[in-house]
Amino acid sequence: MSDLPTTDEHARILLLSSRLAEAAAAYRRLIAERPEDFTLYNNMAEALRRLGALREALMALDRADRLLRGHTMVALNRAGLMAELGRPDEAVGVLDLLVQASPEDADLRLMLGRLLRGAGDLKGAARSFGVALRLRPEHPETLLAVAGLLQEQGETDDAEGLYRTVLALAPGLAEAPLALGAIALKRGRGAEAVGFYREALKADPAHAGAQLSLGNALQEAARAEEAGGCFRRALAVDRRNATARFRACFADLPIIYRDMDELERARDRYARDLAEMADHYAAASVAERRAAALAVGGSQPFYLAYQGRDDLALQVLYGDLAGGLMAERYPDFVKPLERRGRGGDGGGRPMRVGFAAGHIGRHSAVNVSLRGWADAFDPAKVELFCYHTGGRSDDETERFAGLSREFRRGLGGVEAWAETIRGDSLDALIYGDVGMDPMVARLAALRLAPVQAMSTGHPVTTGLATVDLYLSSALMEPEDGQDHYRERLIRLPNLSYAYRPLDPPVVPLERSDIGLPEDAPVYWCCQSLFKYLPSDDELFVRIAQRVPDALFLFIDYMPAPRVALIFRQRLAAAFAKAGLNADRHCRFLPQMDHARFDAVAGLTDVFLDNPSWSGHNTALEALPHGLPVVTLPGPLMRQRHSAGILAMIGLTGTVAGCRDEYVEIAARLGLDRRARSELRRAVRQAAGKAFYDASPIRALETLLEGTGKM
């Protein structure tokens, strides 16, 4: 605490210096001396807002407003805080009074339009922007606001044209090229997006947002090192920019690796930078920690799991960091909760079980967990509440909605979601995709139900102290599986879910349609290319050495062509080392919709599982085609999906115990058409054993009732 006397100037200096807690305390002392001075409440509110104490800040502004009704600055600050607190209608009401008093004020019209847009009143926003534009016809900021509204309404072409107009009118504004870059990136024009972001940086070299956007575009293009440089430059501009700090750390994890040495260097670098980030926030002020919570989930260590290692220590370090920041900003949402009493037969009422995921619908993270559970829950025991935090919906989304007592979506920010979920008084909350969805990452770091669990949607520990259980498969987990999780590992029977085949529409397709010869043995290698580690490239070579006409059919990675380029270069080098031509043995198809993907699978001969990240959805989808699944289970659950599925259907003859056996099984099936045909018949006959198994759901119900000893 400073020894300076508490004066208006002293308090102002503290506020300008971002010594926010001291500034708030100074203003409180001044208010005790001059309780009728509205400016003191207004300034204290600014300090409290930046500290993240939004409700307390609004109370201060309410007091200022009572002292001097209608003061423009106080009213504007109140409206902004109301919007931040998720009360857009009240914010609009406050600003509307100002507009009525000054109807020709273009700035007020512009601000009102922005608030109306935030409140979901797009027509009202358009009217307000229209008046602002009439008052100032070529005002760049108003044109930007109109373009943003058009974009939200799906009129992206018109919005793009307006952004280009702003770019011509005001080339010194970074906002127009930033918006154009975002449109280009969304439309798959990554190189063009990079160009726009560089243009934004020419307009404003110190624009941290432009550096972040350029970094994001480069990261999506698999240019992780360049992306990391952008994030670090953004951090140099603003050392408190938590988004830049998080992204700089996670940029240590490339999408794909050229060799295993690069992977080891990346892992070491990430471990170091993550520890440094954790240390930084451990020593940071309360204000910085609260502000940093807003960056949680915006970027995540998604690609860490694809290194094929035990990530527990690193995930716990990240989980404690994320959880600590969220607790700092949302202390009311980390307090313990008690169950209302046992559900089902034990309590005379159904249990309230919640599913929270960003991909509730047709998505791999949900297909093998939440989907099968929702289908098979006993409605006498379970009332389902679904929280769809993502923006996309399909027929499966609506199926979930039909199975739910309540289906929540589009609730906005963390507080709105957290208040709603807590208000539903759940007995248990199960997350489907922690690590994949921004809002789910934030919510999972809070305490919103007495029991919180994670499914196998993203098969790695969350690292969060707030997630109690990891619901996994008894057939997929190794004996030492608990050692890989912070959560208590629950081995549900069999595959852990009641899988329902997706049954896509039939697409007539022949091998000739996709450039495949009729007689060559085709190995279906359909995992995302970044799941294949460099250490496994030699397995393809060894199989090709045994099966001269072998073809390995891969799927290109369209979001980042560089990923496919690096993977192709790796294969070319591995095959060339053995005196073989990779182009003769390796074929690539573009990414396709599910129906065509399924049709292509039916044209192949062997499902060649990836040792580093075993096929799960893809292996299940291969069964109805009778595809033999050749797999090599590893030490982690995510390397044992296919082995568990084969154990479920009782066909474990293609489960290899070592790399040599993996090659031997794959080569034998490629060379022996009769053996392949017989195994295909056996797989087709046994496939149904993997589907519609209700036993895991009965076990899950028992567990959640609190009577199970699992």
Q: Can you tell me the distance from the alpha carbon of 6 to that of 229, in angstroms, rounded to the nearest whole number?
A: 43
Percent of the chain clearing pLDDT 90 (strictly above) = 73
Give residue 341's pLDDT band: very low, low, confident or very high (50, 70, 90).
Answer: low
Same domain, 476 and 346: yes
Same domain, 660 and 519: yes
Condensed to tens digits (0 to 9), the pLDDT of residues 651-672 reads 999 999 999 999 999 999 999 9
CA 142 remoteness from chain centre: 32
CATH of the domain at 439: 3.40.50.11380
Look at the chain and report how many structural domains it folds into: 2
Closest CA to 303 of 379, 219, 406, 206: 219
- What is the model's pLDDT at position 347? 56
**Dihedral angle, C-alpha 639, 640, 641, 647, nearest 10 °:** 160
Q: What type of residue is 288?
A: E
Condensed to tens digits (0 to 9), the pLDDT of residues 418-447 reads 999 999 999 999 999 999 999 999 999 999
User: What average pLDDT score do residues 361-385 get?
Assistant: 90
Task: Output 153 or 213, whichever has higher pLDDT.
Answer: 213
Region of 515 (left: φ > 0; alpha: ψ -120 to 50; beta: rest) is left
- What is the model's pLDDT at position 5? 58
- What is the model's pLDDT at position 1? 43
Which contiguous run of DSSP H or E holds residue 247? helix 242-250
Does 115 score more than 90 pLDDT? no
Same domain, 603 and 466: no
Task: Answer whether residue 573 is part of any domain.
Answer: yes
Mean pLDDT for the chain?
A: 92
Task: Answer whether residue 73 is part of any domain.
Answer: no
CA distances from 664 to 551, 576, 661 (A): 16, 21, 5
Q: Which domain holds residue 433?
A: 333-500+694-705
Same domain, 569 and 672: yes
Does 708 score more than 70 pLDDT? no
Q: Which of 24-38, 540-554, 589-603 has the lowest mean pLDDT?
A: 24-38
Q: Can you tell me the distance from the alpha carbon of 376 to that of 362, in angstroms, rounded to the nearest whole number?
A: 17
- The residues that bridge with 354 in the sheet, in sequence order, are 385, 429
Task: Answer whether residue 87 is part of any domain.
Answer: no
Q: Can you tell me the distance from the alpha carbon of 296 to that of 341, in angstroms, rounded to the nearest whole number?
A: 33
Condensed to tens digits (0 to 9), the pLDDT of residues 527-548 reads 999 999 999 999 999 999 999 9
Residue in the structure block whose two tokens are 């000054």: 102
Does 2 score more than 50 pLDDT? no
Q: Can you tell me the distance from the alpha carbon of 227 to that of 314, in angstroms, rounded to the nearest whole number?
A: 22
Same domain, 468 and 381: yes
Task: Answer whether residue 268 is part of any domain.
Answer: no
- What is the model's pLDDT at position 463? 98
Q: Can you tell me the distance from the alpha carbon of 110 to that of 144, in angstroms, rounded to the nearest whole number?
A: 11
Closest CA to 281 of 234, 329, 314, 236: 329
Does 3 score more than 60 pLDDT? no
- The residues that bridge with 691 in the sheet, in sequence order, are 499
- What is the model's pLDDT at position 95? 80
User: What average pLDDT score do residues 299-303 get?
Assistant: 96
Q: Can you tell me the distance from the alpha carbon of 465 to that of 334, in angstroms, rounded to the nearest whole number?
A: 11
Closest CA to 528 of 499, 501, 560: 560
- What is the model's pLDDT at position 291? 93
User: Which pair of structure tokens corresponds to residue 189?
Assistant: 């024009």
Task: Answer whether residue 640 is part of any domain.
Answer: yes
CATH of the domain at 594: 3.40.50.2000
CA 558 remoteness from chain centre: 19
Same domain, 479 and 522: no
Residue in the structure block whose two tokens are 């208000």: 423
Residue in the structure block whose two tokens are 């140099």: 236
Same domain, 521 and 586: yes
Same domain, 521 and 604: yes
Condensed to tens digits (0 to 9), the pLDDT of residues 470-529 reads 999 999 999 999 999 999 999 999 999 999 988 888 999 999 999 999 999 999 999 999
Task: Answer whether residue 646 is part of any domain.
Answer: yes
User: Which pair of structure tokens corresponds to residue 549?
Assistant: 């006409």
Does 59 score more than 70 pLDDT? yes
User: Which pair of structure tokens corresponds to residue 650?
Assistant: 């009782």
Same domain, 341 and 470: yes
Which contiguous run of DSSP H or E holds residue 364? helix 364-367
Q: Are 86 and 412 in contact (CB under 8 A)?
A: yes
Q: Can you tell me the distance from the alpha carbon of 498 to that of 697, in angstroms, rounded to the nearest whole number?
A: 7
Task: Answer whether residue 234 is part of any domain.
Answer: no
Same domain, 475 and 534: no
Task: Answer whether residue 53 is part of any domain.
Answer: no
Q: Are 509 and 489 in contact (CB under 8 A)?
A: no
Pairing of strands 382-388, 406-409: parallel
Same domain, 569 and 426: no
Same domain, 698 and 680: no
Task: Output 189 or 638, whichever has higher pLDDT.
Answer: 638
